[in-house]
Amino acid sequence: MTAEDKANMTPEIHAEREKGSKWVFVSEHCFILSVWSMKACMLVIYARITEGLRQRKWINYIAIYVALGFVATELSLFLICRPITNYWAVPTPNGKTELQTSINIIC
């Protein structure tokens, strides 16, 4: 936001921007959940294909790796900006709390 935008902000505009920022946070979280759900689905498919084969152990190792990656991604999303309310603060206290910057770091 420019200095002019900050000076001209009314309480209605502030509330609207804050609400929009909260929806962006929710949608970005849904995006992350969707991507990791697809990864889990692919692992289930590969696990069923390799049932009884020696390659199945690699699918198990990859599943552990993916699970750890999911936990790391979720922790990053929720811990990269403290307190979490700074994600939807208008204006943001610093550039690190802007959601797009955080999502780029996580992904």
pLDDT at 40 (0 to 100): 96
Contact between 88 and 18 under an 8 Å Cβ cutoff? The reply is yes
Contact between 31 and 102 under an 8 Å Cβ cutoff? The reply is no
Which comes out higher in pLDDT, residue 60 or 87?
A: 60
Contact between 57 and 64 under an 8 Å Cβ cutoff? The reply is no
Give the number of residues written for the chain: 107
**pTM score of the predicted model:** 0.72
pLDDT at 103 (0 to 100): 59
State mean pLDDT over 58-79. Answer: 91
State mean pLDDT over 15-31. Answer: 86
Rounded to 5°, angle at Cα 21 from 40 and 95? 95
At 52-66, the pLDDT tens digits run 999 999 999 999 999
Dihedral of CA atoms 64, 27, 85, 3 in degrees, nearest 10, equals 130
Residue 70 has pLDDT above 70, yes or no: yes
State mean pLDDT over 71-90. Answer: 80
Which comes out higher in pLDDT, residue 25 or 45?
A: 45
Please report, for residues 3, 31, 76, 87, 97, the alpha-carbon distance to residue 93 in angstroms, rounded to integers and kept in the order given.
13, 25, 19, 10, 7
pLDDT at 49 (0 to 100): 95
